Amino acid sequence: MPVTAEELVRVLAMLAEEEKLRVAVKESLKGGAMAGTGAVIGGFMGGPVGIAIGGLAGHMTARWYGRGKYVEVCDILTQMEKEKRDELHQAYFIVLQDYDQEDASSLNRKLSVDGELREKMLTTLKLFLKDNLKETLLDNHAKRGKAD
């Protein structure tokens, strides 16, 4: 029996949690505006060097302001409406057609040993979040060992 939409969402939620995927909560434009404003003000006050300093100051202010304003992707997936779950399931049809998966547990086993499948699943998830849900993924600092 192929993986159902509900099972796929559970598998993707676990994958997103393992990868520590997060999305911005509509703060991206504000952050960009802060960095740009800082660069413009710095440019008026100090020329080319002021642009760099102002842009850096604006970036740091935006980073401080936006700290903690994100949502875990696994939360988005588990709270998704049925129509969106079905769209997500359809988006994965092409990815999964080359892999013989009977159920969610066999798909989980394959994900733990097949790096190519894991990468395809993550890429498709990121594209779905960006294109269908209009979400902005954040850099995965925790995965690289950096602090926010």
DSSP conformation class of 138: P
Look up tokens 């954040």; give the residue: 138
pLDDT tens per residue across span 28-65: 566 677 788 888 898 888 888 888 898 888 888 877 77
Distance CA 65, CA 31 (A): 8
In one-letter notation, the amino acid at residue 78 is: T
For the chain, what percent of residues have pLDDT higher than 90? 7
Same domain, 61 and 80: no
What pLDDT, in 10s, does the model give residues 114-123?
A: 899 899 999 9
Does some domain include residue 31? yes
Average pLDDT, the chain: 80
Same domain for 76 and 17, yes or no, is: yes
pLDDT band of residue 103 (cuts 50, 70, 90) is: confident
Model pTM above 0.85: no
66 pLDDT band, cuts 50/70/90, is low
**27: confidence class by pLDDT, cuts 50, 70, 90:** low
Would you say the C-alpha torsion 92, 94, 96, 102 has a positive or negative sign?
A: positive
> What are the Cα distances from residue 39, in Å, to 29, 31, 63, 66, 141?
15, 12, 15, 18, 25
pLDDT band at 148 (very low <50, low <70, confident <90, very high): very low
Question: Is 90 in the same domain as 133?
Answer: yes
Instruction: Write out the residue range of the structural domain in which residue 61 sits.
Output: 26-68
Range in 8-17, 75-84, 89-98, 111-120 with the lowest mean pLDDT? 89-98
**What does the alpha-carbon distance between residue 59 and residue 36 come to, in Å, rounded to a whole number?**
8
C-alpha span between 107 and 128 (Å, rounded): 19
- 80 with 105, same domain? yes
Residue 75 confidence class, pLDDT cut points 50, 70, 90: confident
